[in-house]
Amino acid sequence: MSNTPTPHIGAKAGEIAETVIMAGDPLRVKFMAEHYIENPVQFNNVRGMLGFTGTYKGHPVSVMGHGMGIPSIGIYTYELFNFYGAKTIIRIGSSGAYHKDLHIGDLVIAMGACTDSNYASQFDLPGTFCPIADYDLLVKAVNTCVELGYNYKVGNVLSSDIFYHDNPQTEKWVKMGVLAVEMEAAALYMNAARSGKRALALFTISDHLITGEATTSEQRQNTFTNMMDVALSLV
């Protein structure tokens, strides 16, 4: 805890809860703090990456942005797990669908996260590491979706390092059963594994890479609330 504040998080030790819900967009975090969290107190605005701590149904919880891409979430989750005592991190975000039965607004719960990133090379493993979610969190998220009647699928996602790909090969991931693409879950799962902590990533489908369905940035910021309900049920 003596490493706090960090270069990226301005909070002092004890200002961040053991459960942190994270989103790439800090404005989505602000929306959660204003509409879901009781008595939120801002603990971070370094680089505009907002963070708040409060309670949800009496349970302490923090919400914080993590930015875009594996390097960004890699930094923030490492510091939260290792310097601030976070035990559980839940990522919520938007993703692009690969699976034909997914549509705008459906949820994807990432049981595993494939990646084209080189992030795992730092661990010097004698093979390929498979980043996976915490099982208990995954089961609880599924149960919440069933209880609330939300459309969802559980399975593999792709955490890609590239948004504007010069040589996209979507069909290769599709034929391997990957449900959707996003940019951060694999690093979250690897950091959780390395630190002996818990993590889960869940997503709302914002567009479909095969059919061309799409939403606006405003819709992604303010209307993707089902995944927030699921994430908060895990607090």
pLDDT for the residue 214: 83
**What is the 8-class DSSP label of residue 48?**
G
Per-position b or e across 131-140, b if 16+ CB within 10 A of its CB: bbbbeebbee
Secondary structure (DSSP) of 64-126: EE--SSHHHHHHHHHHHHHHS---EEEEEEEEEE-STT--TT-EEEEEEEEES--GGGGG--S
Residue type, 113: A
Condensed to tens digits (0 to 9), the pLDDT of residues 119-133 reads 999 999 999 999 999
Domain 19-232: give its CATH architecture. 3-Layer(aba) Sandwich (3.40)
pLDDT for the residue 2: 67
Condensed to tens digits (0 to 9), the pLDDT of residues 97-154 reads 999 999 999 999 999 999 999 999 999 999 999 999 999 999 999 999 999 999 999 9
This prediction has a pTM of 0.95
Site of tokens 């034909």: 100
List CB contacts of 139: < 8 A, sequence separation 6 or more. Answer: none
Question: Catalytic annotation on 25?
Answer: no
Q: Which of 101, 116, 161, 207 does the annotation list as catalytic?
A: 207
Task: Report the half-sphere exposure of 140 (CA within 13 A, side-chain side).
Answer: 16
Radius of gyration from C-alpha coordinates of the chain: 17
